[in-house]
Structure 1
Amino acid sequence: MNHGMIPQETIDEVLRRFEIGETVGRYVQLSKQGKYLKGLCPFHSEKTPSFTVTPEKQIFHCYGCGKGGNVIKFVMEMENETFPEAVKRMCEEAAIPITWSAQPEEQTPRQRERAKLVDAHAFTAKVYHYILRNTAAGTPAMDYLRSRGLNDKLIEEFGIGYAPARWDTLTQALTRNGYELDEMERGGLISRKHEGDGFVDRFRDRVMFPIHDGDGKFVAFAGRLMSDGQPKYLNSPESPLFSKSRTLYRLHEAKGAIRKSRQAVLFEGYMDVIKAWSAGVANGIATMGTALTAEHAALLKRFADEAIVCYDGDDAGQAAAQKSIPLLEGAGIRVRVGMLPGRMDPDEYITENGPEAFVRETIEGAVSAVKFQLIYLRKSHILLEEDGKIRYLKDAIRLVARRESPTERELILKELAQEFGVSLDTLKQDVVDVRRQEKLGTTGDIPGGTWNNEWNEKRSSSKHPPLSPAFVQAERQLISWMMQDADTAFLVQNRLGDRFHVEDHAAIAAYLYAYYAQGNEPDAGRFIAYLQHDRLERTCSAIALEDTPFDDKVLEDCLRTIGQASLSRDIDRKKEEMLRAERAGDIMLAVQIGTEIIALEKQRK
């Protein structure tokens, strides 16, 4: 298979150096189950693990969303990269010499567009920063930033800029430097005029915060108004470079500190991250002005085992922190919450109390997720009344019952028993009852926090999935054995050739014939790299997990089943031909076809 300019021996070396369990384990929390490793899929939301890694065959497959392949495919999916980009990244990490051209001889249209937009965003960042630091138009913005406690060093370090109040400053600058405005509009840098003729600057009279992707490339901007008005923050729209649900502000700069400590501090706003950075919190990041998503949590899990959620102390911030906990825990991240007094945000707290107090009280003094949830729960109950206490305890018991650690449950129950003067044994029994009830699913509603696949599996467990025709499973079985043994592949090629009924199976078989004809050894991971076809890679990874021991008799049964299906298909086609001949009044042709059908029926018997 042609991989462009990348030598096959380089691809083989990457596959050899990067053990799939270790590589996937950087992104996904895996647990060993027999010869497999299992975890929550990073590509879709789930609570019941359906993501499987097979170290023996060096492949992964998710039974929930169907994604699968080898270690290179996994890196491609996680980093949103092309095959050459992923191989280059892995070569750089493993110090494998890059002997091919860094850029393919001819880029795809998508690659060309991305490259131009990355270049345009870097140019735009320079324009905005220059205007802030070197023009009279930027003076009010500089005064504003200094009033917020940002010195020149921070302004430089974070690349902050200013978009002036004019409608065409950036549009003209892009035009002068040869950028196509239609393309710049698709990239979110400028906007089309309402009347549809011409373009205007998207950002005007705003302090500008550049946003980088995981590799440190400029991909978007956030613009903040310096006065009252809405929206206070304006982000770049979704574009070929930028997805808000998969981007975390300053992750590229912070991931070194996050990896070292295995801990991230999650903020709501850009200013919070910058002020916390100035206070010595080098592992601070923020979402892009949106709520935390499952994709954010999966992205963060690549680098961190623990997250400290440090959102604003007002009602909206605390509600957002409450919603973030199940998402982070669902990704396998331990959660603590930094508490801020008096409805303050981190920026205000640092300004008023100083960096040392913020680190000591808010970051180091962060409470566990369940303690925060119990504090948050109190707001909806009147604890001065007996009924309010009872309702609070019932809700608190349900919350505690869902914690997996028995030690954590007991410690919290002791505190509740002491505070409310209730027997610890009584609270323990209530927790046991709740756990038993929720496990048995006695309520009619979908349990809170249960994600799609877990609930759908429970709903559909009483229904049998539709059975595939016997020849489909026979073809899968043959392909599974062909991937494991070249002699089996040659036997199937001689006996069956391309007469597979499922189109993808026929394509995979053809690739296997060619793969072995080139002298390659059986290796599922290497063969998947050979395919370079997303759908076929998924199918192969699923089939490779069907680990049935080889059996000569079963092999013959599979070939017979497929042959019988071929005869049935031929008979059905002949019957249609005979019917058309009869309708056309061609009796002789109909009789001839009828004779052929009888002969085929005898073969089937």
Structure 2
Amino acid sequence: MPAAPSRRPLGGRISESTIREVRDRADIVEIVSETVPLTRAGANFRGLCPFHREKTPSFFVHPTRQAFKCFGCGEGGSVFHFLMKARNLSFADSVEELADRYGVAVRYEGGTPGIKPREDLFTILRLASGTYRDLLRSPAGKPGRDFLRRRAVTPEAEQEFSLGWAGHGGELLAAITRGGIDPARAEAAGLLLPSGGGFRDRFRGRLLFPIADARGRVCGFGGRAVDDAVPKYLNSPESELYRKSSLLYGLHQALPSIRNEGRVVVVEGYMDLIGLWQKGIRSVVATCGTALTESHARTLKRLSGNVILFYDGDVAGKMATVRSGGPLYAAGVSPKVLFPPKGMDPDDWAKVTPPEEIARRIAGAVPLMEYIERGASRKYDLGTISGKLSYVQLMEKYLRWIGEPAERELYAQRVAATAGLPVETIRRQIGEQGAAAPPAGNPPAAAKDPLPEESHLLQLLAADPTLAVAAMRDGVAPMLSGEDAREAVFRLASLAERTPSADAAALLSETLPEGVRSRLSAEIVRSDVSPEEAQRRYPGALRELRIRQAQREIDDLQERMRVAADEDERAPLFSRVLAAKTEKERLESERRSR
């Protein structure tokens, strides 16, 4: 009989005290240095941003305030957010990983007493993986074993990837019940489905591929039908642990080879990966039934700059290959490609190809942009004006993907030569390169910041959040130019009222709108003053902001006077202009007397 759903709470969240303790103990310079080589730059450290392609460093880390900011792409935040972005972790994952590293006991609140919400999900998924693996070896798993034999999967590969079998008899639910596990938690892990007031197994009659994170923890499963059942593939649902847009199948097994070989091969299917693995290609990963995403691309960039796409050789596979170029180029990767012969997928081809030939073909993969250009030049009749125009227009779209100036220029020259046009024409069509990163040294002034008074004031509030309480009292928020800046002041004031001794960087560990996080992290990294110095400078910064506000009011009133219909409408505006000018002059006189 199906087990009844539990009414116990299904989890909690990491306590604020744990987050504070982990943040205080963590060394952001140490963490970031494992991904980005850093050098000292004044009070900060500087390096090439791992989140976008650049040649001059615009990525800064503030060691005291435990914050990072890239002034090129805008990414910024706390040590937790760096790990989230660089490693594709959730916030809870990043806290737990750092807690393990720095010896902090993780405490949870708002959930079932004694249960660590994420840890128990991993435990349940590990139990499920073992149950499925045992079932594959049992009499019930014969359909799965027969399929693996037909596909020439070796016992070594079966063991390496912990392949399993989901039967039709509710075996997993029985194992969960025997283990005293709350079935509702197994449902949260994507393993069970509600059924008739109880639960039933989600996966039935399928070969199962456990999908793990980079640490080898099972996060979900991919299930493949071995007969004509539909759908052919059934994956775990999206959950707290299973995020198919971030996970790469086989990554845990591939990591040592990726590091040793300096490359990563990306395929689309589980069987493609296993087929190549059996032929000695161990630096291979697969997307989990989805197109390659920006999150995948960032992970691949972190692993290796040498990414090789090896998809099916049919039209759909080639289209998917080209589409994958977008997120990869955006992440700063110039991918290479190869395809199996027409009508074959990588697994089929690997079965009939000697390992030496497979290795040779992978080593000879061609740049994706070269493949795209060759295809475009064959697609159109370049002996006609219309053909040349179509070729150039198609290539313009792809050339804009390229962030590396030299690579972009070389392909622009190739396209120009093929179309018989001056290269300047192609350069104009694809637009100028983005602005160069700021020169080495301290963090640059805010991008597009015509309001230095505003930036300076926010830096002082970041140095001493208690000043934000005074700023709210002094009416600073309405004088700020954007909603992100106003919200940043409000958040800093709230933080100071809750915890007067808190550092501004503590805010970066909270849930914030992205624009607020970006603005705060920028001002925190730029701020190089002590709380005492910030207190001393605050009155002057407030005065400068009020001078700017008075000038804005004068400009606005004068414009309204210009378009006023008659003298009766202009007279009160004129009086207000005089009052604003008087206030501005008073403030400027005060500035001069200091």
Q: What is the TM-score when the length of structure 1 is the normalising length?
A: 0.69
**Alignment match, 1:182:** 184
* Match of residue 53, structure 1, among 51, 60, 69: 60
Partner Cα separation in structure 1 for residue 507 and residue 459 of structure 2: 20
1:436 to 420, 425, 428: 428
The one-letter amino acid of 2:505's match is I
- CA drift at 1:164: 1.7
Please state how far the C-alpha of 1:330 moved relative to its aligned partner: 1.1
- Pairing 1:18-33 to 2, within 5 Å after superposition: 18=30, 20=32, 22-23=33-34, 25=36
1:222 Cα shift?
0.7
Distance in 2 between residues matched to 1:407 and 1:301, nearest whole Å? 17
Q: Which structure ranks higher in relative contact order (CA pairs < 8 Å, sequence separation ≥ 6)?
A: 2
Q: CA deviation at 1:37?
A: 4.8
CA distance in 1, matches of 2:159, 2:270: 15
Distance across 1 between alignment mates of 2:329 and 2:468 = 49
SS of the residue aligned with 1:224? strand
Unaligned runs of 5+ in 2: 1-14, 435-447, 478-488, 548-582, 588-594
Q: 1:272 to 1:7 in 2, by over 3 A?
A: same
Partner of 1:116: 120
Q: Which amino acid aligns with 1:87?
A: L
Q: Whole-Å Cα distance in 2 between the matches of residues 5 and 504 of structure 1?
A: 21
Give 1:557 shift: 3.2
> 2:172 is matched with which residue?
170
Question: 2:329 aligned with 1:334, yes or no?
Answer: no
**Cα-to-partner distance string for 1:245-284 (whole Å, 9 max, x where unaligned):** 0110011221222233331100000011111111111110
**Are residues 508 and 425 of structure 1, via their aligned partners in 2, closer, same or farther at CA, if it must alter by over 3 Å?**
same
Following superposition, the deviation at residue 409 of structure 1 comes to: 5.6
Please name the residue that 2:90 is paired with: 80
How far apart are 1:376 and its partner, in Å?
3.7
Aligned positions of 1:244-259 closer than 5 A: 244-259=244-259
**What one-letter code is carried by the residue in structure 1 that aligns with 2:524?**
A
Point out the more displaced range, 391-400 or 268-277: 391-400
Letter in 1 for 2:273: V
Cα 1:337/1:173, change in 2 over 3 Å: same
- Check 1:499–1:262 CA distance in 2 against 1; reply closer, same or farther (3 A cut): farther
Partner AA of 1:71 in structure 2: V
Cα 1:15–1:537 shift into 2, 3 Å: farther
**Amino-acid identity (%):** 29
Helix, strand or coil: the match of 1:234?
strand
Deviations 1:113-138 (Å, cap 9, x if unpaired)? 322221111111111111111x2221
Shift of 1:309: 0.2
Give CA-to-partner distance per residue, 1:82-108, whole Å, 9 cap, x none.
Answer: 3641323544xxxxxx3x54x538685
SS at match of 2:69: strand
Q: In 1, distance between residues paired with 2:472 and 2:377? A: 70
Structure 2 residue aligned with 1:15: 27
SS in structure 2 opposite 1:321? helix
Deviation at 1:323, TM superposition (A): 0.5
Structure 2 residue identity aligned to 1:542: A
RMSD of aligned Cα (Å): 4.7
Q: State the alpha-carbon separation in 1 of the partners of residues 54 and 449 from structure 2.
A: 25
C-alpha distance in 1, partners of 2:79/2:265? 29
Counterpart amino acid of residue 392 in structure 2: K
Partner of 2:323: 323
Aligned length: 497
How far residue 410 of structure 1 moved from its aligned partner, in angstroms, is: 4.9
Q: In 1, distance between residues paired with 2:200 and 2:31?
A: 50
Distance of 2:203 and 2:299 partners within structure 1 = 28
Confirm or deny: 8 A CA contact 2:134 2:164 kept in the other structure.
yes
Q: 1: distance between equivalents of 2:425 and 2:468?
A: 60
Match of 1:478 among 460, 468, 482: 460
**535-544 vs 282-291, which moves further:** 535-544
More off after superposition, 498-507 vs 122-131: 498-507
Question: Is contact 2:412–2:423 with CA below 8 Å preserved after alignment?
Answer: no
Q: Does 1:71 align with 2:69?
A: no
1:204 corresponds in structure 2 to 204
Mark the CA change 1:309 to 1:407 in structure 2 (over 3 Å): closer, same or farther. Answer: closer
* TM-score normalised to structure 2 length: 0.70
Note if contact 1:499-1:506 (Cα within 8 Å) is conserved in structure 2: no
Give 5+ residue unaligned stretches, structure 1: 92-97, 417-423, 442-449, 451-464, 484-488, 516-525, 565-600
* Post-superposition CA distance 1:377-417 (Å, at most 9, x none): 3674468x867864675357647855555578658967x8x
2:532 is the alignment partner of 1:528: no
- Aligned counterparts of 1:276 and 1:136: Cα–Cα separation in 2: 29
What amino acid is the match of 2:201?
Answer: D
Q: Displacement, 1:215?
A: 1.6
SS at match of 1:435: helix
SS at the partner of 2:265? Answer: strand
What's the counterpart of residue 584 of structure 1? none
